[in-house]
Amino acid sequence: MNAERLPRVVIVGGGFGGLTAAQALKGARADVTLIDRRNFHLFQPLLYQVATAGLSPADIASPLRHVLRKQKNCRVVLAEPIAVDLEKRQVKFADGVVIEYDWLVLAAGATHSYFGHDEWETIAPGLKSIEDATEIRTRILLAFESAEYEGSEEARRAALTFAIVGGGATGVELAGSIMEIAAKTVVQDFRNIDTTTTRVILFDGNDRLLTAFSPESSERAKRTLEAMGVEVRLKAFVTNVTRDGIYVGDEFVAARSVLWAAGVRANPIGMSLGVPLEKSGQVKVEPDLTVPGQPQVFVVGDMASVTSAGKRVPGVAPAAIQMGRYVGKLIKGELAQASHRANVARKPFVYWDKGSLATIGKAKAVAEIGGFKFSGYFAWLIWSLVHIMFLISFRNRLIVMFNWAWGWFFFSKSARLITGDSQMRIDEMKANEVVIGRELSKLEVPRP
Amino acid sequence: MNAERLPRVVIVGGGFGGLTAAQALKGARADVTLIDRRNFHLFQPLLYQVATAGLSPADIASPLRHVLRKQKNCRVVLAEPIAVDLEKRQVKFADGVVIEYDWLVLAAGATHSYFGHDEWETIAPGLKSIEDATEIRTRILLAFESAEYEGSEEARRAALTFAIVGGGATGVELAGSIMEIAAKTVVQDFRNIDTTTTRVILFDGNDRLLTAFSPESSERAKRTLEAMGVEVRLKAFVTNVTRDGIYVGDEFVAARSVLWAAGVRANPIGMSLGVPLEKSGQVKVEPDLTVPGQPQVFVVGDMASVTSAGKRVPGVAPAAIQMGRYVGKLIKGELAQASHRANVARKPFVYWDKGSLATIGKAKAVAEIGGFKFSGYFAWLIWSLVHIMFLISFRNRLIVMFNWAWGWFFFSKSARLITGDSQMRIDEMKANEVVIGRELSKLEVPRP
């Protein structure tokens, strides 16, 4: 064992930024601690496929301990820090326990923002965690179940209407997937309803979808969605969300299912730093991703606000990975130098924009890579390959490929499970005046 | 559409018995309704693999609507009936809604019994539903997490001790799997604990495990488990279960995780029939599986108590399938005859015992088929093939085969996700005086 105390590197968050930072510290002479409230890394770009029953949670999750099992200078702690004390160099937990650091990497991510209306969250869940995804999956599937037994045409219509708020990648992907489920996957499953009459309405406050893309790609995505039957409502500002539907300006749209994919709010741990933040909570970091005045405290990923080549670095997975790797390498390098000479000046973080990808449906996607714009089958192929490639484990790559191939041929969504407290769900449906068993349909019965 | 009213066949429960009955009614001139509180059929024999992180829930579940989508005389209703009114020929729901039947098939299954101590259930969950399985999975994984940061050796020991109550197939399978996780899967994942020191103790009140098997097979299973490191305690009667451990007679065994796989209690809907029941709630049915005095009301599967060839038919999947098929065909036959002539006498249900199988671990199982007894690799191979064969969908067969092959080569358990309200979990760990961050271990750090 080692008598001298090793430099302690504490990383908060096991997402793309934090995990990559930990991995970049492999072989460093340091005592690395990765803290996350979950025991797994989640491949968030495919989370919408869990929400739409195409994949199982385990297919896109990798246990952090397993990923880091051979990196013996790193431990994993399952816990949720609530604050940082820059003065004492401590990360603090709710119960008063602290972990001390010499170097700190904050990579605790971001979630959706309800623009000051947090009360909408229970009605219109966002999509950030595995639990969000299985909750949304359950809601989508229960919508069809309740529609099957609604007494009135009006109520049936509301049950079969899905409103999605936010026209970024997640909103577009959810809209396309739900339409596919309704129009292809469950068409034969019901006896009273025609699921192809399902309405999916995608709302966005901007004048176009996918603002990270060029206007041409936005227009293509819109046309593709509309060809699938999705209604796209731009410059639409949500003013209220209720259990019965959504208010857009003064207009009421009856929709039993409202899903939220808008806004960004950085993890509130950034507030404890006492440094300037963006309105949505990101920490305004220096070009080397450090907190101002704190050369050994870094912020990476969706929690960081930084510019590269004059443009704000976007809150996407590739940016988080690049920031994590930059910081991990920087710390490892300075730890190695420390015994020899004083720190040299740091090179600033430079974001390499590899392009943007968003999928819409089967063989439907938009892609912009190095000035080239693709859409349709070829863009979808690139999207698929890139996402398979970046999945953490080889096993998950195989499983996801298998599930996609299966879905391709059979339009199947195999994880169509309504889980959780189903009795509560059924009661909820009944509260919505769903008349299970009261009005059973005529069936097609063979003639003698 | 059909003017004359068709005979209404109502099936309660979409497990092996109910689903098979519905399928056997394919093409019948009847209006068939399958009612289940879940929207999927669950392949329960592999549920322990979900609980031990080897499979995902969707791998062993098939949406009922999807399975029955092409059977146009059958509808699926997502609801939970609470009683039967034999007089009025109605199935009743909690909110007063009723469904009327001409023919009724009760196939609502059974759960574990806590021998009058239902208060143990929250401490020692059983394994009957998907939620049970993910709950047990979370508990097993959190046990290692909490052990990693325990302050005292004694507490660490308790966190790494798993007590399993009930030495039937489920108990044996759980014990073997948890030992494999501890001894093979997570060995490299932790820094403070040696997971190979994990204790798994299997308790049973009988003088042998697997009482459905011959004494020789029971002995083989016991020796196999013991060779893997599982402690088997026979003639052991559980007198109390607390959050700290389990009392066996007067002896206290400190164990943070207690899992329940003992006892049988049939679905309470049987009580509403007002006919004689077994002590554990099964309905004592006639040789044609009807409720006494009710020629058009059948009970199948784990809810039924019936003898065949002088022996009680066991509560296993093959028996439920055979009963379901027998009843489905019987109803279909009598419906076809009805227009021509009076009912003929019914042939009694005959159970064809195809043999018994139980798996213990990798390449370890016991099997008894037609008087032959196998154990070890060959028995495990039979077990694997039979279970793959009986999975409902081709897709699930492929996925399960893939997961097993992967597990075989890498001893991996890929679904190691701690889900649910993890903050609550963490708080629970803290209540157990787990000192996250207070005592961090020394790591192996590369020398310069």
- Please give the Cα distance from A124 to A256 (Å, whole number): 10
B365 and B385 both lie in a single domain = yes
B72 domain-assigned = no
Confidence band for A437, pLDDT divided at 50, 70 and 90: very low
B321 and B379 both lie in a single domain = no
- Please give the Cα distance from A434 to A148 (Å, whole number): 9
Domain of residue A98 covers 8-37+79-112+264-338
Measured between beta carbons, the chain A residues lying within 8 angstroms of B99 are: 437, 440
A400 domain-assigned = yes
DSSP one-letter string for A247-273:
EETTEEEE-SEEEE----EE-GGGGGG
Q: Could you tell me if A151 lies within 8 Å of chain B, comparing CB atoms?
A: no
Q: Which of A23-37, A395-409, B131-145, B244-258 has the lowest mean pLDDT?
A: A395-409
CB atoms closer than 10 angstroms to residue B117: 14
CATH number of the CATH domain containing A188 = 3.50.50.100
- Please give the Cα distance from A416 to A138 (Å, whole number): 8
Per-residue pLDDT at B426 = 55
B159 and B306 both lie in a single domain = no
B202 and B241 both lie in a single domain = yes
Measured between beta carbons, the chain B residues lying within 8 angstroms of A191 are: 75
Tell which wins on pLDDT, A391 or B394: A391
A268 and A251 both lie in a single domain = no
Of A1, A57, A426, Cβ closest to residue B417: A57
Measured between beta carbons, the chain B residues lying within 8 angstroms of A398 are: 402
| Entry pTM | 0.90
B270 and B296 both lie in a single domain = yes
- Please give the Cα distance from A132 to B354 (Å, whole number): 44
B242 domain-assigned = yes
CB atoms closer than 10 angstroms to residue A413: 26
CB atoms closer than 10 angstroms to residue A8: 17
B169 domain-assigned = yes
Task: Look up residue B151 and give its two tokens.
Answer: 């302050």
B377 domain-assigned = yes
Chain B window 323-382: which residues touch A at a Cβ cutoff of 8 Å?
A: 336, 339
B128 and B255 both lie in a single domain = yes
A252 domain-assigned = yes
B12 domain-assigned = yes
Of A415, A426, A436, Cβ closest to residue B58: A415
Of B304, B338, B372, the one marking the end of a domain is B338
Which is the catalytic residue, given A145, A148, A150, A173? A173
Which residue from B305, B145, B5, A255 is spatially nearest to B137, judged by alpha carbons? B145
Q: Are A52 and A60 in contact (CB under 8 A)?
A: no
Residue positions counted in chain A: 448
Which is the catalytic residue, given B173, B216, B334, B439? B173
Q: Could you tell me if A252 lies within 8 Å of chain B, comparing CB atoms?
A: no
Give A429 to chain B, closest Cα distance, Å.
10
Of A79, A410, A441, Cβ closest to residue B75: A441
Give B368 to chain A, closest Cα distance, Å.
34
Task: Look up residue A112 and give its two tokens.
Answer: 């959706």
Tell which wins on pLDDT, B80 or A103: A103
A257 and A277 both lie in a single domain = no
What lies within 8 Å, CB to CB, of A17 at 6+ separation is: A105, A107, A109, A300, A301, A302, A303, A320, A321, A323, A324
Of A286, A313, A338, the one marking the end of a domain is A338
Angstrom CA distances, B267 to A331, A437, B106, B264, B328, stand at 61, 21, 10, 10, 21
What lies within 8 Å, CB to CB, of B414 at 6+ separation is: A58, A393, A395, A396, A399, B53, B54, B403, B406, B407
Task: Report CB contact under 8 Å: A448, B73.
Answer: no
- Torsion sign across C-alpha atoms B196, B197, B200, B201: positive
Task: Report CB contact under 8 Å: A420, B79.
Answer: no
A183 and A217 both lie in a single domain = yes
A269 and A298 both lie in a single domain = yes
Residue of A nearest to B438 (CA): A97
Of B76, B414, B436, Cβ closest to residue A79: B436
Query: Is A153 a known active-site residue?
Result: no
What amino acid occupies position A346? R
Confidence band for A426, pLDDT divided at 50, 70 and 90: low
Of B309, B338, B367, the one marking the end of a domain is B338
Confidence band for A438, pLDDT divided at 50, 70 and 90: very low
B108 and B123 both lie in a single domain = no
**Which value does ipTM take for this structure?**
0.86
What lies within 8 Å, CB to CB, of A261 at 6+ separation is: A112, A126, A127, A164, A165, A166, A168, A170, A171, A174
Per-residue pLDDT at A411 = 73
B275 domain-assigned = yes
CB atoms closer than 10 angstroms to residue A157: 17
> A251-254 and A257-260 as β-strands: parallel, antiparallel, unpaired?
unpaired
A371 and A422 both lie in a single domain = yes
As averages over each run of 10 residues, the pLDDT of chain B (448 residues) reads 77 98 96 94 94 92 93 93 96 89 97 93 93 92 89 91 97 96 92 94 97 95 97 97 94 96 95 96 97 97 96 95 98 82 79 93 92 91 89 81 80 77 54 49 57
Per-residue pLDDT at A96 = 84
Q: Are B314 and B307 in contact (CB under 8 A)?
A: no
Task: Report CB contact under 8 Å: A417, B130.
Answer: yes
CA B384 to chain centre: 17
Residue of B65, B69, B433, B439 to mutate, testing the A interface (most A Cβ within 10 Å of its Cβ): B65
Give B106 to chain A, closest Cα distance, Å.
17
Q: What is the mean pLDDT of residues A367-376?
A: 91
CATH number of the CATH domain containing A105 = 3.50.50.60
Which residue from B322, B325, B330, B323 is spatially nearest to B346, judged by alpha carbons? B330
Per-residue pLDDT at B133 = 93
Q: What is the 3-state secondary structure (H, E, C) of B226-289?
A: HHHCCEEECCCCEEEEECCEEEECCEEEECCEEEECCCCEECHHHHHHCCCECCCCCEECCCCC
Q: Which of A26-40, A119-133, A385-399, B146-160 has the lowest mean pLDDT?
A: A385-399
- How many domains, in total, are found in chain B? 2
